[in-house]
Structure formats: structure tokens, C-alpha cells
Amino acid sequence: MLTIEDILNLIPENGIMAVVQRDLEANGDRYTLLILKYLLEKGELVFLFLYEPYTVLTRNLSNIGLNVEDFLDKNLIIFDVFGSVNKIEKNVKGVYTLSGYMDDVIFISKMKEWAGGVIRRQKIKVDKLWMVTYLSSGVCRLFHNPLYTYKMIWLMREDILEGKSPRTIITYSPVECPLLEDIVYFVSDVVIETKIIKGKKVGIISKGPEENVIFELFEER
């Protein structure tokens, strides 16, 4: 079984890995949360872009033994896309939302301003940063033109970080948002597709240095 550390070592400097949920029952999103837990407990700095309700994230992390509040505003910063679009403001330190009128174009503009400000104020070393999305397929539920918005998010990322991109982990379900599949594959250096094969939850590396390797996602007991 490949360990989480083995998988993270596949991601090149400034690279992008996508965890693509082919079979929802394989729990690829849970695998990403285990990676997030590993990074946070190692003391790595993580920007989490949240496209799901905050309560869903905290519950799912609690189920794998992680209390979000132990890391928020320390080495975890959450940008709550779901809360921003649905105008759900939170008084939680380390969780950020955008306020005011929001459409696809205004969201990108405000997000760019916010992200640039956070990086400058906190003097973040971008090359030491990890970015994680949970779940990118939520874009299809939140925006009128999800493909355009998602492309603009990637362009904004390059613009703000000026070529010094952090390593990034995308969590994506093509069943929930098929529009994004081509761009997710195009931007990713490593792609892990999660499926159920012979009753086991496995990851298949379909792009990257260990292409075609199959490994179990979780230790079955």
C-alpha cells in the first residue's frame, strides 16, 4: 500500500494533484481529508478552498479524528466559497468569506483582492504553502457559468502567485460536475482516480510518474 507520504512525494515542486472520484462509494473525498490531516499534523501551512458547507467539512474531519479548531488561524486558513456565494457569514477565526453582492465576475475580483491581501499581510512563503480544494465539483452548484469561473480561478492563482505556485491538491467528482473534467486533467501533474474494484476502495494513478499503479486507499480491518 502506498502511504500518504509516498503519494505526496509524487507531486512535483509547484505541482498539482487531482483526486478524482470515479465511484462515489470509494470515498475519494475522505482520502483527501486524510491527506489534509497528515499535512496539518506535520505543521504544514494549508489554504483550504471550501466549496461545501463548513459544517460538512468539520463533521467529516471529526470522523477521521481531526478537530478543525485546533489548527484554524495557526497553520490552516479556510476560504469559504460556499458561505460567500450563499451569504453565510461566520464568526470563526481563520475562516474567511466575501460579503456583498456576488455574481461570477464579482466573486473572482473580490477573491483575487482577498487572497493577495492575505499573502501580503501574513508574509506567507508561497513555496512552503499547500492549497487544497474540497470539493471542486461544488463549482457547478454555486456559479451560473462554472467552467468560466473555474478557469478564471486558475488564471487568478497564477497572477497572484507570480509563477511561485504552491503544491495543490484538487478533490473532484465528475459525476457531480462533468463540465470541469477536461480542465482538471489538463492542469494536474498527478491524477488519482478512486474506484471500487473487487470490493476494495482503491486509487488508480492515471497520470503522473507512477502511472497505472493501483493501491488501496484505506487500511481495511
How far apart are the C-alpha atoms of 221 and 210, rounded to whole Å?
26
CATH architecture of 12-19+28-192: 3-Layer(aba) Sandwich (3.40)
Q: What is the pLDDT of residue 221?
A: 43
pTM of the model: 0.95
Please report which confidence band the pLDDT of residue 121 belongs to, taking 50, 70 and 90 as the band edges.
confident
* 80-117 tens-digit pLDDT: 999 999 999 889 999 999 999 999 999 999 999 998 88
- Cα dist from 126 to 20, 76, 77, whole Å: 25, 14, 13
pLDDT average, residue stretch 189-215: 97
pLDDT average, residue stretch 155-175: 85
* Mean pLDDT, the chain, whole residue set: 93
How far apart are the C-alpha atoms of 130 and 168, rounded to whole Å?
6
Evaluated on CA atoms 167, 173, 178, 181, the torsion sign reads positive
Q: What is the pLDDT of residue 163?
A: 62
> β-pairing, 167-172 with 190-197?
unpaired
pLDDT average, residue stretch 163-176: 89
Domain boundaries, the chain: 12-19+28-192
* 36-53 tens-digit pLDDT: 999 999 999 999 999 999
Percentage with pLDDT > 90 across the chain: 84
* Structural contact between residues 158 and 164, judged by C-beta atoms closer than 8 angstroms: no
31: its cell numbers:
482520502
13: its cell numbers:
515542486
Which of 100, 45, 102, 125 minimizes the C-alpha distance to 77? 45
165: its cell numbers:
505556485
